[in-house]
Amino acid sequence: MIEFRESPKAKADMPTLQMKNLCKSYQLGTHELRVLRDINVSIYAGEYVAIMGPSGSGKSTLLNMIGCLDRPTSGDYLLGGQNVAVLDDDQLSMIRGARIGFVFQSFNLIAQLNVVENIEIPMYYQNFTEHESNRRARELAHMVGLGDRLGHRPSELSGGQQQRVAIARALSNDPLIVLADEPTGNLDSTSGADILTILDRLHAEGKTLIIVTHDEQIATCAERVIRLFDGRIAKEEYNKR
């Protein structure tokens, strides 16, 4: 069992997320498909980073890698000082549950559960007590502006509301990083703008945000943009605010 609390050695200047020479390749028959090559990137606490790139550039693979859904073929990936590359499946599940907050393009709420219960899912796997997780889920629902929709099912909510539930859910386990994959991709522009406002607010509160998108407009909200091309980091730029 690994201990996920911040080790005393972790200093403020130590990156929250660090990738060193990270490569990922898939075996397609006899042919080796190299999706990510020599990725070196460090993201510090409180940063707001957008990852951009055309399709096929390895965006999704990098996202899976950051989200600890997949392990690198070679190289290291340190998340909060823990090397993810050496963890087994159970430990990956635990690290995802403890340190990552996921926001998906298609919301991915569970249909048979109501708003509060959906927000509670990550806490359920993190040994929160019943009382604690319920209180926290309600708080988060209020925070994203769904205080009056606690008992509703996802099918009774609009897309924008569903995505707000998803954001509340991503925050419920108090993660090191919030990872959003095209969070506005399935939304109309007004709801999308709402979501971006919430993300901005989270950033202002000091959360570390990583957002994967192909929308230049959205990328301008972030402090830093990492552009991928052909499995490599093609360009890193800082937005002026």
Partner 1 sequence: MFLYRLKRTVKLGVKSLWMHRLRSTLTALGIIFGVSSVIAMLAIGEGASRDAQEKIAQLGSKNIIIKTIKPPEDQSSIGQQQTLVEYGLTYDDAERFQNGIPNVQVLVPNRRLSHQALYRNRRASIEVIGTVPWYPEISPTRVRFGRFLSTIDMHYKRGVCIVDERVVRELFGFDDPLGQDLKIGSDYYRVVGVATEQSAAASAAVNQLEQRDATGAKKAAGANVGGIYIPLTTVKDRFGETTMQVSAASGQTLERVELQEIIVQVQSIDMVLGTRRSVETLISRFHKKNDYEIVVPLELMRQAKDIQRIFTIVLGSIAAISLLVGGIGIMNIMMATVSERTREIGIRRALGAKKRDIVFQFLSETLLLTLAGGVLGIVLGSAIPYFVTQFGQMRTAVTSGSLVLAFGISAAVGITFGLYPAIRAANMDPIESLRHE
Q: Give me the residues that bind partner 1 (CB under 8 A), please.
A: 64, 67, 69-70, 89-90, 93-94, 96-98, 102, 104, 108, 110-113, 121-122, 124-127, 129-130, 169, 173
Q: Which residues contact 216 (CB under 8 A, 6 or more apart)?
A: 52
Least Cβ distance, residue 235 to partner 1 (angstroms): 27
Minimum CB distance to partner 1 smaller for 125 or for 229: 125
Least Cβ distance, residue 149 to partner 1 (angstroms): 18
Minimum CB distance to partner 1 smaller for 140 or for 219: 140
* Contact status, residue 101 vs residue 170, Cβ threshold 8 Å: yes
What's the gap between Cα 50 and its chain centre? Answer: 11
Q: Number of helices (H) and strands (E) in the chain: give both, helices first.
A: 7, 10
Least Cβ distance, residue 221 to partner 1 (angstroms): 24
Minimum CB distance to partner 1 smaller for 30 or for 129: 129
Least Cβ distance, residue 93 to partner 1 (angstroms): 4
Q: Which two tokens stand for residue 42?
A: 């460090």
* Contact status, residue 167 vs residue 144, Cβ threshold 8 Å: yes
Q: Which two tokens stand for residue 140?
A: 């988060």
Question: Cβ atoms within 10 A of the Cβ of 31, count?
Answer: 7
Minimum CB distance to partner 1 smaller for 179 or for 228: 179
Q: Are strands 208-213 and 177-181 parallel, antiparallel or unpaired?
A: parallel
Minimum CB distance to partner 1 smaller for 131 or for 240: 131
Minimum CB distance to partner 1 smaller for 181 or for 194: 181
Minimum CB distance to partner 1 smaller for 129 or for 189: 129
For 6, 68, 171, 184, the CA distances from 203, given in Å and listed in that order, are 21, 22, 12, 17
User: At 88, phi and psi to the nearest 5?
Assistant: -90, 180
Least Cβ distance, residue 173 to partner 1 (angstroms): 7
Least Cβ distance, residue 237 to partner 1 (angstroms): 29
Q: Which residues contact 128 (CB under 8 A, 6 or more apart)?
A: 136
Least Cβ distance, residue 216 to partner 1 (angstroms): 25
Distance in angstroms between the alpha carbons of the first and the last residue of the chain: 42
